[in-house]
Amino acid sequence: MRAKKKDLPYLLCLLVMPALGFIYTLLNTDTREAVILSTQLDEWIPFVPIFIVPYILWYAFILGYLFYFWYKDVPTFLKTLGIIFIGELVCFVIYFYFQTTVPRPELAGSGVFLDMVQMIYSHDQPYNAFPSIHVLTTFAIILGNFNIQDKHRFHSVFVPAMGSLIIVSTLFVKQHFVLDMVSSIFLTTFIYGIMFELYGVSAKKSKQAYLED
Residue 2 resides in a domain: no
The number of folded domains in the chain is 1
What's the mean pLDDT in 127-151? 95
Residue 36 resides in a domain: no
What's the mean pLDDT in 183-191? 96
What's the mean pLDDT in 154-166? 97
Residue 10 resides in a domain: no
Q: The pTM is what? A: 0.89
Q: 74, 68, 60: which is closest to 9 by C-alpha? A: 74
Range of the domain at 132: 49-212
- Are the CB atoms for 163 and 141 separated by under 8 Å? yes
In which band, very low, low, confident or very high, does the pLDDT at 64 lie, cut at 50, 70 and 90? Answer: very high
What's the mean pLDDT in 188-206? 70
Backbone φ, ψ for residue 98 (5° rounding): -145, 75
Residue 78 resides in a domain: yes
CA–CA distance, 144 with 137 (Å, rounded to integer): 10
CA–CA distance, 119 with 14 (Å, rounded to integer): 26
